[in-house]
A and B are shown apart, each in its own frame.
Chain A
Amino acid sequence: MTDDQHGATDSVLTRRRFFTALGGTSLAATVYEYGIGSDRSLQSATETQDSRHPASQYHIDVMTAIAEAVYPSAVSVESSFIESRVFGRVEPKPNHFENLLTSIEAVDGHSRARFGGAIPDISPGRRRKVLQSMGVTAVHPNADGTTAEQVRFYVVNDLLYALFTSPAGGELMGVDNPPGYPGGRDAYQRGPDGGER
């Protein structure tokens, strides 16, 4: 067992204690304030993030690394974005975060066992191979399904939800203020040249 793996195990224990302490209830709502950047950089722009989320730095780092494999390379991912938009959001259903963390650990465990290193330590292309090797890219998302189906539901689709509801994701789709992002009421009035018609 490597030192890294010790670290991962400790993180898991810490996280499970956290859930126990909360009695299984969902987390308090966090503040949804983010910069509305025009570039394709994903980062938290404020310091208002509630730090009481269930993920350890280990989970944030692995999830950020998976995001770099799932998102187009034009999108640069900061761990602050993952921390705030994935782990800092209101938990959509009971035990969602618990299952997300388990799925993150499954991906990292597969990477270590079959690809010779932790997810953050291999290239984005290799990370995609990890997901492919697990079957994640060839299954339907299912919250109660196989490990691959759960990784697809919790890890991939959580990342896609965060992307599609962010300005960077909106830019990929040609929408300045994508649904799910509180980007104000200017964008819908603007014409394609940036001004009102």
Chain B
Amino acid sequence: MTGADDRSPTDADVCIVGAGPAGAVTAYDLARRGHDIVVLEAGERLTPEDHHRRMEMWLRPDLERNSFWLDGARDAYTSTGAIDARLNETRVKAVGGTSVHWDANTPRLHEEDFEMNTRYGVAKDWPISYDDLQPYYVRAEREIGVSGADDNPHGPPRKEPYPMEAFRPSYSDSLFAEACAELEITMASQPKAINSESYDDRSGCVGYGVCNACPSGAKYSAEVHVRKAEAEGARIVDQVQALSVEHDQTGDYVESVVYATPDGREYRQEADQFVIACGGIETPRLLLLSDSIAFPDGLANSSGAVGRYLMDHPNVTTTATLDEPTRQSNIGWVSSRSDQFYARESPGPGSYHLTFSNTAKVTYGGAQDRRAPTSPSQILDIVGNPTPDALAELATDPLNETPLGDNLDLPTTDGPPYPISIRGAGEMLPRSDNRVMLDGSRTDSHGRPVPSVDLSDGEHEQETMEHCLGVQESVLTELGAEITGVSTLDGRGMSTHHMGTTRMGTDPSDSVVNSECRTHDLENLWIASSSVFTTGGANNPTLTIIALALKAAEHIDDQL
């Protein structure tokens, strides 16, 4: 038996790097089949109390939301494209990975997402179809617990019901529904990995309204499958950094993963099969860092595709106000969506989906982060950048006292007017020059080059999201709302979805893994991650990540 603080290697059939949804589900599915599993995770374990702490971090503007996991020296990166990579705002390195703070939206990809080249002459087809993946989608929905309803006329076909009933639509959904009906836009329930009732020993949602830091456990995080994997005998080793993946003399098989422990020691974990499950950025980075004589451009990179074809989901939001109450921010999640504009026409704008706001009212801030011009930090800022506005504010209201008591500065008012918004997220086509590379000029705390992310939108993304903004304006105008803000793609940050950087394909010369998620180049190296997506579609990727992980686990089991 190995103690929790013993991070030395143990005998293993399978070594998995990364304890996010892909790694945790793979670990569980293989452990329950009787295999010895070791999972190496860079981040720490969180306790139930930590999730209460995270909620306060999320809601208080004077606390850093990501400080519970972020190690600035370890997690440094470079962003060179037009799109700000903002990695450390969106990912989480912890046991459970980014699912620790995800929104838990779990739509499936659509059939056409797998056949973009055949249908529209763009991008590449996946080597598997929606039908191939559908049984794994069903299993994935059961594993993580999805609340939903088969009520989406533009959604992908379903053969099985959702494990739990959908959440009921919000009051503001009913406002949108009238406007959408006038415009013949159909709405549907948003499938979510949040319990609408008790499921799998976790409670139903109790309405904390802070889904990104859900303290109740009603929202799925991969910590669930970490616990299940451990119950099946898997060993999860936290706070260890995988440094490189080492292969044999012939370059046909991986032999070990070299990793560092917090005390600075380096170990070599051996196994029969290896799974890299580090997400769309760190997965290609680890392969690029594992170059060798046999693989001078990075492990499993004979195609040159490792790191290339990075995709995210460009998104735009239109905000507005109504004279009548919109009842925002009484719950944290989105309850309704529309896939009306998912089916694309070629040529023309690509796929996107719409979601309708339940959280347009911001309830944190106000007096909590009101900053007086005469505070030391503000004075330093003004001295450093003496703009006319800043100087005028300092001169006319030097104290800018924060009123307390009856004049307390609340984050938001009761209204009117009442806020409301529509968000749209769309597809990005894979392009080889959108990529993750190594920045040879900067190193992390282990002395390794940091990832360099180069991502920009193209004409297709611009055209798609302009169309989306037009639809948003139509709905809000039909609603009688006054538009107060329109976000565009200019200056945007990368979304939370990082896909495509070790893509799946049949041709080893232009793809990294095959239809089983095994690398073309090495017989026992597998990738479970959104990095294997050949195209990204316009839907949230996590359910597809888990479905692919379950599929990969079956193939790995066949090898053991």
Contacts and interface: CB of A to CB of B under 8 A. Distances in A.
Interface string A135-178: 00111111101100100010011001100110000101111111
A83 B365 CA distance: 23
A156 B367 contact: yes
Contact of B411 (A26, A173, A188): A173
A76 to B, nearest CB: 13
A175 B49 CA distance: 26
B330 A138 contact: no
A138 B62 contact: no
B260 interface: no
Contacts of B303: none
B418 to A, nearest CB: 8
Interface in B131-190: 167-171, 174-175
A141 B62 contact: yes
Contacts of A128: 404-405
B410 interface: yes
A182 B174 contact: no
Interface string B401-423: 11111101011111100100000
B335 to A, nearest CB: 8
B372 interface: yes
B242 to A, nearest CB: 29
Contacts of A182: 206-208, 216
Interface stretch (A5-13, A15-23, A64-72, A100-108): A64-72
A93 B53 contact: yes
Interface in A57-78: 69-74
Given A72-B405, A180-B55, A173 B413 contact: yes
A179 B413 CA distance: 15
Interface string A90-106: 11110000000000000
User: Which of A161, A187, A189, A191: most chain B Cβ within 10 A?
Assistant: A189
B209 A178 contact: yes
Nearest to A163: B408
From A172, A173, A190, residue with most partner B Cβ within 10 Å: A173
Contacts of B497: none
A24 to B, nearest CB: 15
Contacts of B367: 156, 160
B518 interface: no
A131 interface: yes
A173 B369 contact: no
Given A153-B62, A174-B413, A138 B372 contact: yes
A197 B59 CA distance: 30
Q: How large is the interface on B (under 10, 10 to 19, 20 to 34, 35 or more residues)?
A: 35 or more
A120 interface: no
B371 interface: yes
Contacts of B56: 89-90, 92, 161, 180
A124 interface: yes
A173 B364 contact: no
A132 interface: yes
B223 to A, nearest CB: 16
For A26, A128, A190, A192, the residue with the greatest tally of chain B CB atoms inside 10 Å of its CB is A192
B60 A161 contact: yes
Nearest to B398: A138
Contacts of A173: 361, 363, 410-414
A138 B411 contact: no
A13 to B, nearest CB: 27
Contacts of B49: 26, 28-29, 90
B336 to A, nearest CB: 12
B251 interface: no
Given A173-B412, A190-B171, A184 B375 contact: no
B209 A189 contact: no
A93 B62 CA distance: 12
Nearest to A140: B375
A172 B408 CA distance: 10
A183 interface: yes
B378 interface: yes
Contacts of A91: 53
A89 B54 CA distance: 12
Interface in B2-52: 48-49, 52
Given A29-B52, A149-B375, 19 more contacts: A92-B53, A124-B405, A131-B404, A132-B401, A138-B400, A153-B62, A161-B368, A164-B59, A164-B368, A177-B209, A178-B363, A179-B364, A182-B206, A185-B206, A185-B207, A187-B331, A189-B168, A190-B330, A192-B327
Interface of B: 48-49, 52-53, 55-57, 59-60, 62-63, 167-171, 174-175, 205-210, 216, 324-325, 327-332, 335, 358-359, 361, 363-364, 366-369, 371-372, 374-378, 399-406, 408, 410-415, 418
10 contacts: A72-B405, A92-B63, A128-B405, A138-B372, A156-B367, A161-B368, A173-B363, A184-B207, A185-B205, A192-B325
* 8 smallest beta-carbon distances between A and B, as pairs: A174-B414, A188-B331, A179-B209, A188-B330, A192-B325, A90-B52, A187-B330, A140-B375
